[in-house]
Chain A
Amino acid sequence: MNFNGTLTQVIHELVEQVMPSLVIVRGRRYGAGAGIVWAENGLILTNNHVIGRQAPIVVLQNDGEYEARLLARDPDVDLALLSIEAARLTPLKPASREASLRIGELVFAFGHPWGQRNTVTRGIVSALGFAQNRRGDTLPIVRSDVPLAPGNSGGPLVNAYGQVVGINAMIVGGDQSVSIAVSVVNDFVDKVLAKQAAQDRASQHTPADVL
């Protein structure tokens, strides 16, 4: 076995690597949830159920508070993408589509359970399954034995490399913790960004182009 430092040190390094990307997402009426810096130009990913009707407040690790613009939300996958006016943020890398999760592998959840800021909980992947949303679609989910509580919603579930393998959500309940699989997240973000790019191209058209 390759002892690159002790286990405790390595876990500490993983936490240091992930924590800068963890944010608080505060709705106007509800409690707060968690979110992830998805791109360095201010894209923030969170759960749809964390945000209320109005645009939420995002709090970064440096305590900077930003009024967020809601780019897209989808209750069917319980995801939302926000944008804040900030640059040079530290985004979190999602695990590649090819990397498949295995039952038994170590995972860590980051969030603010019961308002306790910047909390890390540990567990393993218990099961890979599906949940049904309101429309009856099946949604790939990751079940784990990681303790989650309100305030973890929208935060990342990362593997031993510190890559995002899921977004923590307590949409199903029961005794297993549920995270939305990263494949769903990638699809959601890709779709939103493609639509955004199309709109940007459209708005760049000058009246002369239209003629």
Chain B
Amino acid sequence: MSKTILVELSDALADAAESVGKATVLVSARRRMPASGISYTADLILTADHVIEREEDITVTLADGTQVSAKVAGRDAGSDLAVLKLERAAAQAAEVTKSPARLGQIALVLGRPSTNGIEASLGTVSAIGGPIRTGHGGMLEKYIRTDGISYPGFSGGPLVAADGTVLGVNTSGLANGAALTIPADIAWRIAETLAKQGRVKHGYLGIRSQAVEIPNFTQKALQRAQASGLLVVSVEKDSPASRGGLMVGDILVSVAGLPILHHDELFARLSGDVVGKSESLEILRGGQPQTLDVLIGER
């Protein structure tokens, strides 16, 4: 029988589900329904934080049906990600996408909610957004939404491109139960931090601030178009900001070269690997740009 383009597409989707399915595991760490996970190395499983309800007696069921016990290597409620370490290296690692998700792209929502095998639904990438505040004091720089169905037990599973690479990690734990996908580059970066240090450190400056407009002539002095910045309204004593020389009345306009227009952007810049590092903060003082080096503390 001749293979039409429809058959080729169908085969490609089934191939993608099969190959990523080998790296999609079942995570049993809560009383009710188990959930899904992605093996990102042979002995590390990336999953959703909210499906880990106990830290003892966690089992991971691999694609071939073998059960391996696992321990929590790190978890972060803010990004709803957790990393489990398998008792022995046994999993097949997933392949991550080289090109980020694009609007309109076809994607499979994959999971392993039971020992009966993988399950999948088809969708398209319908929105790429961010940053958004998540429920637990976290901030997600970027997220993906699809119109694929997330079946029960899909949290922690992968969003899969038609070429069989992972676009991100699906979870219903970040947006009031609605399904959302953490892009793979962000998820893998957080996973690495979690595997190394067990948690995500959140940066601390020690300022209160308010978003304010930057007048046109000041934008000229800044030599770029930036409509707003953060006016510092108080600086805490002995905080990283005060040690770095930040003063009330300064307008913070960038951190480490990235413009800061709103609180959310500052929040996003301060989470991740900046803790303990000296970063250059660009401010407007008396209408003139200045740069201060500030050693970022930990919240």
A86 close to chain B: CB less than 8 A: no
- Decide if A123 is an interface residue (CB 8 Å cutoff): yes
Task: Judge whether A123 and B121 touch: CB under 8 Å.
Answer: yes
In the complex, chain B residues 199-217 whose Cβ is within 8 Å of any chain A Cβ = none
Q: Is residue A204 contacting chain B, with contact meaning CB distance below 8 A?
A: no
Given A104-B17, A105-B10, A176-B151, are A160 and B4 also a contact pair (CB < 8 Å)?
A: yes
Q: Which of B4, B8, B18 has the most CB of A within 10 A?
A: B4
Shortest Cβ distance from A139 into chain B, in angstroms?
Answer: 15
* Structural contact, A2 and B122, CB atoms closer than 8 A: no
* Chain A interface extent, by class: 20 to 34
- How far does the Cβ of A119 sit from chain B's closest Cβ, in whole Å? 18
Interface residues on B, range: 20 to 34
Let me know if B149 and A145 touch, CB within 8 A: yes
A7 & B119 in contact (Cβ 8 Å cutoff)? no
Task: Kindly state the separation between the CA atoms of A10 and B7 in the bound complex, as whole angstroms.
Answer: 9
Check if B13 sits within 8 Å of A175, measured CB to CB: no
B118 interface hit (Cβ, 8 Å): yes
CA distance A106 to B11 in the complex (A): 8
Contacting residue for A14 out of B6, B16, B108, CB 8 A:
B6
Q: Which residues of B contact A (CB under 8 A)?
A: 1-11, 13-18, 21, 108, 116-122, 148-149, 151
User: In the complex, given contacts A3-B5, A10-B5, A127-B116, what are 8 additional A-B residue pairs having Cβ atoms less than 8 angstroms apart?
Assistant: A1-B5, A2-B4, A2-B5, A104-B13, A104-B15, A106-B9, A123-B121, A145-B148
What 9 A-B pairs are tightest by C-beta distance, nearest first?
A104-B17, A102-B14, A160-B10, A106-B10, A145-B121, A104-B14, A127-B119, A124-B122, A105-B14
